[in-house]
Structure 1
Amino acid sequence: MILTGLALGAVLGFVLQRGRFCVTGAFRDVFVTKNTKWLTAFLIVIAVHSVGFFALSSLGLISARTSELPLLGVILGGFIFGFAIVMAGGCATGTYYRAGEGLVGSWLALITYAGFAAIMKTGVLKPFNEGVRDQTVPLTDIQSTFGISPWILVALLVLAVGAAARYHLNKPKRVVAGLPPRRSGLSHVLLEKTWHPFATAIVVGLIAIVAWPLSAAAGRNAGLGITTPSSNLVNLLVSGDTTEYLDWGVMLVVGILVGSYIAAKASGEFRVRVPSAQIAVRSITGGALMGVGAALAGGCTIGNAMVETAQFSYQGWLSFAFMLLGTGAAAKVFIIGHKRAEESAPAPRAPRPPPPR
């Protein structure tokens, strides 16, 4: 049954690559361009996922896991992760699908992200990680705190996200002239046509719903997740222990690489691109901090900001907020501050004419 993880991961990788679904860009745009279109797309994923999760839970097909809030870990880890994804040039899923496109910088970020996730979860930094995450407060999810049905929260979320989506859909559209299509029919739609962010978000949300029963059937009571499967993949490669580490989640992340590579190759977007030394160092550092932050927070932009939020857990929404703040801080340092420095730099002097002979 774990092969369903590989299949679903391949579909997810294909959709992420073709839809250019970048959570880092969604968060970063809020601070750099003041644009919330892609953030709205991410919220659509959460809303769709939430409807499906509670429907499956109501039918008894899956069971939700609840745990007390590791407050310090979520705040610290969420901020570190948000800061790191700007340095790395992508969040966990973004790094996976861009690695499948041939970006060497993403390869470097992915290696250090998975490596440091393993170091934090099962390696020398495990005592530190557990020590921080053991500091909990007695809060689990919003519906439990207020003693209300989760469907009330689902309805409020759907209404709010629907209003935001309507706002963006009603904005005037820019008409951009492009080349005539080279493909036709389904091939054109899948491999050539630009996908709308909201359509991509709905598909990603549906994939997140399907992940629950498929993962449960393989003995894993969880939905989509990237950090722990990445840690398990590293441990699997190092130890060769298939019994302990080879599971549905590991097959999922491998599938994302496969699916994104297929999408990039079929659409003509695959190309090995080697970064400059500066970007390579930043990618390596960002990937390492991603692994540390995701381990402390208990998940990345998928496990926390998409899966946990859909269940209205405090861990999910609090980590979402601090990931967003971390991204804003990094955007100010690496993007906004860099632009201001360039704008304020004096213009280069014209070269002096040679002296007369």
Structure 2
Amino acid sequence: MKRLPIAAVLAVFFGWLLWSVSVRQAALFLVGIGLGAVLAGQRFGFTTGWRMLVEEKDASGIFGQLLLLALAAAMAMPLLGHFPELTAALGPPSISLLVGAFVFGLCMQIADGCGSGTLYKAGMGIPMNTAILPIFAIGSFLGSLHLGWWLDLGHTAPVGLITEWGWAPALGATLAALAAIAAGVAWYARRANAALGRAPRPLLVRKWLVGAVLLAVFATLNLVIAGQPWGVVYGFGLWAAKVANATGAVDLAGNWFWSQPGNAARLHETVLLDVTSITNIGILGGALWIAAGKPAAAKALTGTQWAVALAAGLVLGYSSRLAFGCNVGAMFSGISTGSVHGWIWVPMAFMGTIFGLRIRRHFGF
């Protein structure tokens, strides 16, 4: 399909949202299209950036992500400090977070995508990610069913740096921590490449820098319009939960997660009123528009590789719920809005990535 027909369909859907749902949801749909177009157009993959550092000693993807975090924090934290109606992406430090983040980091390398990566690659028509998307949703829903049990293993109240310190000190500490990580990553990449007898790769690459700037802008628009930070995996779990609830497959009335007022209300509303779902739909549309007329580049998989990838996708969804988000909801939105749980998520997920890459190599992905 060519870009013009896709643009026409997206425009009609935007107009219908504007007329039949709300101005806010229509605006968030446009934000989602922008996010999807940037993710797909710049191939800004969180999973890929981590893999490049570990396997190729190329730190450019990590530097793009650090720039994204810094820009988003610089825009989000003053807004959160001045407008109390806006909410941060807070998650409780917990056993659930530790386990979920580690397992998520492992599985995202096998499945070749985190939440946003799976979404935009599915929008581009890449077969493996397209097949994983509904499996991811089922896994996220299953994780929500068990989240209460996981939290009973041990958790503390969420900690927000803006609430504890104020937005200016929180921003200063966040930027300082990101700068320290950048220095450490640059040192590691330089030493690793020198040990291999080759020149260091450039740290600043245009596609990552452009992607970082544009994603930070669209994420800030999401925060202002939705009143909450950009997220991905909640929408996946909600889609599966609505199917399960409508078919009577599971009684959700007594479930700890789905009996909470906000979640219970979303179960009985149209999915188009959920802010995460509407941006997810927009991301699919934006990625589809970028990929229009271009065949999806995809490696042919064996039966074993398909089985491993789909299993990883299921566990990816499950662990994302335990970890209170993926690279977007937990890492990006958590850190950029001052949540301590985002800083816990990153090292656990990175350790998982190291193991995931070994499994990925073993199965020849």
- TMscore range, shorter length: 0.7 to 0.9
Greater percentage in helix: 2
- The answer to whether the 8 Å contact 2:92/2:159 transfers is yes
Distance 1:230 1:211, change over 3 A: same
Alignment of structure 1 residues 21-40 onto 2, 5 Å: 21-40=44-63
After superposition, the C-alpha distances for 1:265-314 in whole angstroms (9 at most, x for unaligned) are 15x35468764323321221111011111010111110001000112322
**1:104 is aligned to 2:127:** yes
- Aligned equivalent of 1:16, options 19, 39, 42: 39
- The answer to whether the 8 Å contact 1:225/1:302 transfers is yes
Partner of 1:288: 314
- The answer to whether the 8 Å contact 1:68/1:136 transfers is no
**1:89 is aligned to 2:112:** yes
- The answer to whether the 8 Å contact 2:93/2:341 transfers is yes
**1:299 is aligned to 2:325:** yes
- The answer to whether the 8 Å contact 2:80/2:86 transfers is yes
- Aligned equivalent of 1:277, options 289, 293, 303: 303
SS in 1 for 2:234: helix
Partner of 1:232: 238
Partner of 2:252: none
- The answer to whether the 8 Å contact 1:12/1:259 transfers is yes
**1:59 is aligned to 2:82:** yes
Partner of 1:343: none
- The answer to whether the 8 Å contact 2:87/2:229 transfers is no
Partner of 1:347: none
In the superposition, the TM-score normalised over structure 2's length comes to: 0.75
SS in 2 for 1:137: coil
Bigger radius of gyration among the two = 1
Residue type of the partner of 1:84? C
**1:136 is aligned to 2:155:** yes
SS in 1 for 2:269: helix
**1:212 is aligned to 2:223:** yes
In the aligned structure 2, how far is the partner of 1:273 from the partner of 1:172? 26
Identity, in percent, stands at 18
Distance 1:16 1:249, change over 3 A: same
RMSD: 3.1
Distance 1:259 1:143, change over 3 A: closer
Report the CA distance between 1:253 and its aligned residue.
0.7
| Segment of structure 1 superposing worse, 88-97 or 30-39 | 30-39
- The answer to whether the 8 Å contact 1:73/1:132 transfers is yes
In the aligned structure 2, how far is the partner of 1:61 from the partner of 1:262? 36
Partner of 1:346: none
**1:250 is aligned to 2:277:** yes
After superposition, the C-alpha distances for 1:170-218 in whole angstroms (9 at most, x for unaligned) are 9776xxxxxxxxxxxxxxxxxxxx95211111111111111111112xx
Residue type of the partner of 1:130? G
Question: How many residue pairs were aligned?
Answer: 307
In the aligned structure 1, how far is the partner of 2:268 from the partner of 2:31? 20
Report the CA distance between 1:225 and its aligned residue.
0.6
Residue type of the partner of 2:220? I
- The answer to whether the 8 Å contact 1:86/1:331 transfers is yes
**1:326 is aligned to 2:352:** yes
- The answer to whether the 8 Å contact 1:116/1:288 transfers is yes
Partner of 2:337: 311
Residue type of the partner of 2:207? H
- The answer to whether the 8 Å contact 1:305/1:316 transfers is yes
SS in 2 for 1:149: helix
In the aligned structure 2, how far is the partner of 1:164 from the partner of 1:19? 25
In the aligned structure 2, how far is the partner of 1:67 from the partner of 1:200? 25
